[in-house]
A and B are shown apart, each in its own frame.
Chain A
Amino acid sequence: MFAIRISAPERATPGEIVELKALIRHPQESGFRLNARGVPIPRDILTRFVCLYNDQQIFAANLYPGVSANPFLSFHTRATRTGTLTFRWTDQDGESYEDSVELVVA
């Protein structure tokens, strides 16, 4: 399991646009680097990120080797009602990692 860090406000007013930041510790190995013996290091990347707000997709991203190690993403959403924000990453082998936070809208 990789360490995930989420930055999101705990509460928001209805209709407010909130900024969500998500970071996951992952090498995002591009497959273009060589090790000390000159042998290419195999590719190991996260390929997909989705953010769900009350189980509804509000944001997604396709990641390529050009994304830095420990991928960082920042995006916005409109706070509509109290609920759960789920952040999920999927790697090239289909393995997924997720974390969620609660957002109180009042």
Chain B
Amino acid sequence: MKSILKPHLSRRQLLVGGTGMIAISALPLGAAHADQAQLQTAKLKLFGDRPLTEGRVTIKMPPIAENGFSVPTRVSVDSPMTEADHVKTLAIISPRNPVAELIQFELGPQAGIADVSTRIRLAGTQSVQAIAEMSDGTLWSGSQETVVTLAACVVL
């Protein structure tokens, strides 16, 4: 009797456990998919259908933001900032906020270095992306994940 009961129980456990696993793994996957879609849409709106390469852009945010209402964000781009080669525009976009565009900067060779800072609102934990458009038309991106403890928009 014992030998029959044991495999029966473990099979049930396996089934329950397995369903749970599927539910857990499917949740962030679906969310990640929606995040990517929002980033894609924002990029298309701002820069059109041009190839985007990862690199040259560094976005710095605290790894954990206690307050989503004001997250210090610094973006720098590896660029000589000369007349021939400089950053034209720099956009920060969010995969989770109700409005994907956070802020857009217009720079030029007179800036000397491409390094800007601001404070942004974040509606939850997410990986914020910065896209730089160079004077030659190429697009470069960088992203940074931040854990938001208290999200903007959710609370009054």
Q: A residues touching B (Cβ–Cβ < 8 Å)?
A: 17, 30, 32-36, 53, 57-69, 71-78, 80
Contacts and interface: CB of A to CB of B under 8 A. Distances in A.
A57 B98 CA distance: 31
B99 A65 contact: yes
B102 A30 contact: no
A60 B111 CA distance: 11
Contact of A78 (B98, B104, B106, B112): B112
A30 B115 CA distance: 26
A3 to B, nearest CB: 17
B65 to A, nearest CB: 11
Interface of B: 69-71, 74, 94, 97-99, 101-108, 110-113, 115-122, 152-153, 156
B113 A58 contact: no
A78 B98 CA distance: 36
Contacts, number: 95
Given A34-B156, A69-B70, A76 B117 contact: no
Contacts of B94: 66
B113 A61 contact: no
Nearest to A50: B106
Interface of A is mostly: strand
A68 B103 contact: no
Given A76-B115, A78-B112, A64 B102 contact: yes
B76 to A, nearest CB: 10
Contact of B118 (A35, A67, A77): A67
Given A61-B105, A65-B99, 12 more contacts: A30-B152, A33-B153, A59-B105, A59-B106, A64-B103, A66-B120, A67-B121, A68-B69, A69-B69, A73-B117, A73-B118, A76-B115
A21 to B, nearest CB: 8
